[in-house]
A and B are shown apart, each in its own frame.
Chain A
Amino acid sequence: MVNARRFPDLPRAGKPTIGVLALQGSFPLHIASLQRCGVETRKVRKPEDLEDIHGLVIPGGESTTMENLASRCGLFDALRSAGRNGLPIFGTCAGAILLGKGTERPERLQVVDIEVRRNAYGRQVDSFNAELFLASFETPFHGVFIRAPIIEAGTENLDCEILGLHEGHPVLIRNGRILLATFHPELTDDLRIHKLFLEMCELASGKAGEEIREESGAGQTRENAF
């Protein structure tokens, strides 16, 4: 059952829309994956682009570049308050780095109390792929790790569910409404993790989207930003 009143800070208007931070990185791949799941997407480049979205993806790419560009236009603070106010956010690789905590560059959003260390496996020659056994999926997920970070600490807190491990390190975790992957589901055709995130946004692909539209009785559609 979809409850449209779950996020009081984010009034629902019109079609359910997932924002994708589109400053730099693998945002075109995330947009393609989300559209294949049947949801509307919007490129987020300014604070006002966060209005009325039902969830947000922070893609892979260079975390220092994203932090830099987001800070220049006030988007960094807006992302932090959106996350802390309960907007569901899915971060992959650089996105996971930004959502967590850490002492090295870049400055972090600290939306979750989880320490993420950048480039923790080494440089590009240490990038790798691995079949991952993830909680609730029956078959392995093909994980591509590129200059990947390692989730170092904080997973013992009560809100944190470890959904997958690789060589003893958590690689997919859910902490409240935040989903973090240290690998890149957007580089594969496998939509299971995107669908898991959409369930967290309570609009598991197109069907639930329909329910929300019916529930809010909305004829009002919102202009897509791109």
Chain B
Amino acid sequence: MNEENNIAVEGENNWEEKVGLAKMLVGGVVMDVTNAEQARIAEAAGAVAVMALERVPSDIRKDGGIARMSPVSKIQEIQECASIPVMAKSRIGHFMEAEILEALSVDFIDESEVLTPADEDAHIDKSPFKAPFVCGARNLGEALRRISEGAALIRTKGEAGTGDIIHAVRHMKLINSQIKELAGLGEWDLATCAEKLNAPRDLVKQVAKDGRLPVPNFAAGGIATPADAAMMMRLGAEAVFVGSGIFKSSPDPEKQSAVARAIVEAVTHFDNPAELVRICQNVDVAMRGEDTAEIPEEKLLQSRGW
């Protein structure tokens, strides 16, 4: 690797700036978009960031085959029209896709289970990158393993592309209850917990002391309506990712835009049901969705990664 292309300088990890950007996204909605027009709808609706994709997760699910990083031209098309941060996904363990995304100046890289994993042994070593990473987690141990690899943001690993929120709810509740269980434990008990969680001891101790993850925790996967988004916020999510829920709600861009606007407002006013009535008044569509209980275990995307 020559000097010019050597983006991933060892040790230069900009931790403050990475977690700082995650904290600036708090209280917001990150929307999946597949082209410039959708990016414009998302930004006009008040999204805090967009996730540049070739296909939304429900199409990835339907089409099957190998799901990879979006084409570079697609990401650039979206970067050109969005003034808000642009995120993009790399496959789990595919550090080369991640390096390409970083060289493209993508603002956040999602090492995502929605794409087909590239490495069965290791997630990407995220610390040396200058770009921040977000990773999915189903429980506290998984969240802390990703953070120890350098993830600056955690999200639930709800079943993407289904519009079924049950898994995101389970992951958020589990992580928060596992954090609460650590409170007040002595050093020996924390060491045991670290073993059980299969997570680094220093991070387990830090979580026990702070009562929270060292990075923000967002909700993702299966969020389709303003009420879904508000529920995740009430359960402790600091912000929300919405994938297929917006652009699969209706073929009509006006209706998509109404859903997008309502979800943005629902995340701000999540603790005010009277406001939520007003917010939901202009929304009469939602994505059809798929009951995850009918999906065979081996087809679940969330089981990718560990």
Contact = CB atoms under 8 A, between A and B. Distances in A.
B264 to A, nearest CB: 7
A29 B238 CA distance: 13
B46 A69 contact: yes
A144 B83 contact: no
Interface in B262-302: 264-265, 267-269
A119 B82 CA distance: 12
Contacts of B27: 22-25, 27, 61
Contact of A62 (B25, B45, B105, B268): B25
A134 B83 CA distance: 30
A64 B26 contact: no
Nearest to B103: A125
Interface of B: 14, 16-17, 20-21, 23-28, 43-49, 83-85, 102, 105-108, 130-132, 264-265, 267-269
Interface string A84-105: 0000000001100000000011
A128 interface: yes
10 contacts: A25-B27, A64-B84, A65-B46, A65-B47, A93-B24, A124-B105, A125-B105, A144-B20, A146-B21, A187-B23
A29 B45 CA distance: 25
Contacts of A146: 17, 20-21, 24
A65 B24 CA distance: 11
A147 B85 contact: yes
Interface string A55-94: 0000011101100110010000000000000000000011
Contact of A122 (B21, B23, B105, B268): B105
Given A61-B24, A118-B83, A124 B264 contact: no
B26 A25 contact: yes
Contact of A24 (B26, B83, B107): B26
A127 B12 CA distance: 13
Contacts of B17: 124, 127-129, 144-146
Nearest to B23: A26
Contacts, number: 107
The 6 closest A-B pairs by CB, nearest first: A68-B46, A124-B107, A127-B17, A24-B27, A123-B105, A62-B48
Contacts of A62: 24-25, 28, 48-49, 84-85
A28 B84 CA distance: 21
A119 B83 CA distance: 8
Given A65-B47, A69-B268, A105 B83 contact: yes
Contacts of A42: none
A122 B83 CA distance: 11
Contact of B16 (A93, A147, A187): A187
B27, B44, B130, B132: residue with the most chain A Cβ atoms closer than 10 Å:
B27
Contact of A61 (B43, B48, B107, B131): B48
Contact of B21 (A22, A65, A119, A124): A124
A45 interface: yes
B21 A61 contact: no
Contacts of B264: 65, 68-69
A144 B130 contact: no
